[in-house]
Amino acid sequence: MDFSERVFCGRLNAEAAGKSVLLAGWVDALRDHGGLLFAHLRDRSGIVQVVFNPETADAEVCRLANSLRAEYCVSVRGKVCRRLEGTENPHIETGQIEVMVTELTVLAESEALPFAISEKAMLAGAEAAAADNVSEDLRLQYRYLDIRRPSMRDNLIARHRIFHCVRQFLDERGFLEIETPALTASTPEGARDYLVPSRVHPGNFYALPQSPQLFKQLLMIGGMERYFQLARCFRDEDLRPNRQPEFTQLDLEASFIDEGFIYGLIEELVARIFAVGGIELPRPFPRMTYNEAMDATGSDKPDLRFGMRFVDVTDVFKTTKYSIFRQILQRGGCIKGINVKGQSERLSKNVLQNEYAKEIVPSFGAKGMTWMRAAGGGLESNIVQFFSEAEQAGLRERFGVADGDVLLLIADPSYEVVTSALGQLRLHVAERLGLIPENSFAPVWVTEFPLFEATAEGGVTSKHHPFTAPDRSDFDPENIEDLLSLRSRAYDLVMNGEELGGGSIRISDRTLQRKIFKALGLSERDTQERFGFFLRAFDFGAPPHGGLALGMDRTVSMILRTPSIREVIAFPKNRSAGCPLTGAPSQVKREQLAELGLLNLGGAESLAGDGRQENIVDRVSWVSRIGFKDDERQGLAQVLRQAEGLAADVERVAGDEAPVRTVAPVVNRTRPGEVAKRCPLAEDGELLKSAPSVKGNLFKVASVL
């Protein structure tokens, strides 16, 4: 069949009335009116109604039309006609017209569908059809059907247009799109690498890139000056709604620039791509330092769509007689709070005391919460009588209190606990009470991050990556306190509490870069093994440079307001990093493993602890992870040898008989009484008083895995 005359369904309009057209696509829905058969024909551009009428189509066409089912792939030829007044369909863009079919060809039949695909109602006033409420894994298993749905199709088309806008914008500003390798060396960038074994170099591995970081810096040293790439990146990390093991980021780098260049460039770019989705962003974007963000919202990804910024009232209670606050302040703690304006009627005493103070806030990591409601020009709560008139007046002034407001305070010896718990509480209350404006967008630059974070081992690790420039170079790489005081020339673009991207001005001085590696505890040998090729390039005149990476899946998802980035990716992985469509990851044949030298990789090497198997005391020490002193070993060895002898005697006597599992009678051990009741110490909190950490009413322990 010659499709050169084909017209797209969604491009037909009233001006085409009277013309003969050739259409092709899939049957979206059918409606049989006895002698007349109506069908929605769908292609990538949209939907148009086609009509099979015995008065305009011959008997064979009508007979074939009666055999059609949903998702049959067909082509039709017919005449475009205006619909009769009152029969127009506002649910589709071509609802003013229909096509009277004269020819029909079934190109391919379809089996029964695993879920509904049609999303458009055929009649004016009827409810729009929608896909069944099916599991996401089933949708991903039949993703080729899922992307036929107009909503998924529109998402992918919008993604294409946003990507096209990015390329066009950066091209106008002199950026070159350059590809970097997908098979590279493994480098420590924060997440686990996906490794690819090499057949040519047995026992050695490539790594899929977590980002093109090193290569884009090498491009700057290579004189490209302005580079970008819509790069595929890979990270073996736990999934969330906004994470995928493979994802796309806009990666860019430029030479001879500073932070101001990046801010201006990215703000204009982001404003343009949001405009593709009909969203106008305010400019310039505000900026907050990392410390300001943590102090005001408890997060380095602040959501600024609503108020409720933190207010510090530590000094208001510096002479308080309220024992809980006094003890916390004596331990160097702080007290912060938020004002939930005008929500007193929606936050009852029961909700504040029994839900938030006793359950929700403890689940955020704090010991508890203090609350007060404003009414009659004063403050009300179950503990307000412990506060002096001066303290109450200080609170009303500091928070700008009006009747109907609710104050929520958290006090703790740890500043981090206060800001973290209050930040989570701020978001929880805003979402619960619907205080976040719909369809609003609040971009913000977060700047001046700490360069390093402390590790449990007493050292430091990079907050971003080891190539980020510090705010000063006169630091001692062996002084931990000095290192933790360093700020970085890094910046994150945050929108509505989500990090869309981040970057930094890079280190361009080889001496400073080596100094950073030394601060991270890397020896000269480690540095050469991991980054030797990279540092060597710095010996040949590296320009000052910086850049940014923007998560495109996350950005497109925000522009299109989808609940997950999986809705804007053609073939995503599921929540378990698997692909229901292809079955990946899957096992491979032993022959493939053998060819890659993986069957006995490291087989000749002894495992840790193998050398301790010969000596019985060493073996018990290794298995139990318990060390024994020299004066304990002889006695323990004697006991263990006796135990081995006894076991041998039992085995000899038992012969083929089944071993006795226990010599004690089986007895159920339960608490006395028949009525379940909580321990009195749990009721008054005494049971958990000395717990280092509490979550809800439970003793919180450190994570094992």
Place of tokens 């909190």: 685
pLDDT of residue 633: 82
The dotted CATH code for 306-436 is 3.30.1360.30
Residues 67-78, mean pLDDT to the nearest whole number: 96
- What residues does 311 pair with on adjacent strands? 337
C-alpha 242/C-alpha 162 separation (Å) is 18
In this predicted structure, what is the pLDDT of residue 705? 46
Judge whether 370 and 443 are in contact, CB under 8 Å.
no
Handedness of CA 66, 72, 75, 80 (dihedral sign): positive
Query: 515-519 — which CB contacts under 8 Å span 24+ positions?
Result: 515/473, 515/475, 515/477, 516/462, 516/466, 516/470, 516/477, 517/466, 518/477, 518/478, 519/452, 519/460, 519/475, 519/477, 519/478, 519/483
CATH number given to 444-546: 3.30.930.10
Burial grade of 56 (CB within 10 A; 0-12, 13-18, 19 or more):
middle
At residue 306, what are phi and psi to the nearest 5 degrees? -140, 170
Structure tokens that stand for 703 in this block: 């994570």
> Could you tell me if 182 and 232 are in contact, meaning their C-beta atoms sit under 8 angstroms apart?
yes
Domain 1-148 has CATH 2.30.30.60: no
- Least reliable range by pLDDT among 91-100, 243-252, 274-283, 593-602: 593-602
Please check whether residue 406 is in contact with residue 347, taking contact to mean a CB–CB distance below 8 angstroms.
yes
Mean pLDDT in the chain? Answer: 90
Closest to 283 in 3D by CA, of 264, 300, 301? 264
φ/ψ of 290, rounded to 5, equals -55, -45
The share of the chain scoring above pLDDT 90, in percent, equals 73
Domain coordinates in residue numbering, the chain: 1-148, 153-281+552-568, 306-436, 444-546
Cα separation of 430 and 305, whole Å?
Answer: 10
Place of tokens 């890659």: 596
Q: Is the CB of residue 245 less than 8 Å from the CB of residue 576?
A: no
Report the predicted TM-score, pTM, of the whole model to 2 decimal places: 0.81
List, for residues 451-510, the tens digit of each pLDDT value: 999 988 888 999 888 999 999 999 999 999 999 999 999 999 999 999 999 999 999 998
The residue-averaged pLDDT of 55-79 equals 95
1-148 and 444-546 have identical folds: no
CATH entry 3.40.50.80 includes domain 153-281+552-568: no
H or E element in which residue 511 lies: helix 510-519
In the numeric block, the tokens 């049609």 are attached to: 118
Average the pLDDT over 247-254 and give the result: 97
**Res. 660 pLDDT band, cuts 50 70 90:** low
Which candidate, 44, 46, 280, 268, places its Cα nearest to that of 165? 268
- Rounded CA separation 238/673 (Å): 46
Give per-residue burial for 257-290: e unless 16+ CB within 10 Å, then b. bebeebbebbbebbbebbebeebebeeebeebeb
Which long-range contacts (C-beta less than 8 Å, at least 24 apart) are formed by 59-67? 61/101, 61/102, 61/103, 61/104, 62/37, 64/104, 64/106, 65/37, 65/39, 65/101, 65/104, 66/32, 66/37, 67/106
Q: Which residues pair with 495 in a beta bridge?
A: 443, 498
Predicted confidence at residue 545, as pLDDT, reads: 96
